[in-house]
Amino acid sequence: MKRRTWVAALAGLALGTLLAPASSIAATRTLLVLGDSLSAEYGLPRDSGWVRLLRDRLGEKKLDWSVVNASISGETTAGGASRLPKLLDEHKPQLVIVELGANDGLRGSPLDMTRRNLDSIVGAAREAGARVLLVGMQLPPNFGRAYTERFAALFEQTAQAHKTGFVPFLLAGFAGDASLFQADRLHPTVEAQPRILDNVWPALEPMLKAR
């Protein structure tokens, strides 16, 4: 008799789980970070970059999001546009942070090409049902005023055209502080990573809480 009761209880529990409303079952949403070395922990100890700090902050604030860091050192907007469809299909993110373009600028790539690639990335993410936070980048002045100004502007132009979230400059507030950069003067140190997250967070937080 006891065995029958135990089996019946298990059956009832299984049925209850199947019939339970979706809201009662944990359904973590996915945030995909599509970036380059600035998001891929280049030159940093493992799990010390701003994306890892973002994971920690989400946990502290009890925000139900998982983070997939699909960033690759050396990545360009062309590479990101090529990789994104597979990532969208595999992870089905509800939100995509796009942190790409620095390597385009450092290579002197045509700005129209970078803009087209960003358009493609944002469009693909939106078509897949994800919201997008586009992160802006700036170049050192030695690339010439005309190019650097047009480069910086194309991120805001893309964000406005697609009505996406926007972070004006990933390295805002410390780009001129050599003590917060590695020897190459391109990649921020461990000490700079919280500041990067703080630059991203004001634009990201409302998007995390939106339904």
Question: Is 73 assigned a catalytic role?
Answer: no
Q: Where are the alpha helices (DSSP H) in 61-110?
A: 77-91, 102-106
The single residue of 73, 177, 187, 198 carrying the catalytic annotation is 187
Chain centre to alpha carbon of residue 172: 17
Cβ atoms within 10 Å, residue 40 = 21
| Identity at 121, one-letter amino acid code | I
State the Cα–Cα distance between residues 84 and 127, nearest whole angstrom. Answer: 12
State the Cα–Cα distance between residues 92 and 211, nearest whole angstrom. Answer: 16
Alpha carbon separation from 74 to 42, 58, 104, 148, 208 (Å, rounded): 10, 27, 9, 20, 28
Cβ atoms within 10 Å, residue 146 = 8
Write out the two tokens for 71.
């960033």
Question: Is 37 assigned a catalytic role?
Answer: yes
Q: What is the largest CA-CA distance in the chain?
A: 85
The single residue of 37, 71, 104, 162 carrying the catalytic annotation is 37
Task: Estimate the crossing angle of helix 193-209 against helix 50-60, to 10 degrees.
Answer: 50
Question: Is 184 assigned a catalytic role?
Answer: yes
List active site positions: 37, 184, 187
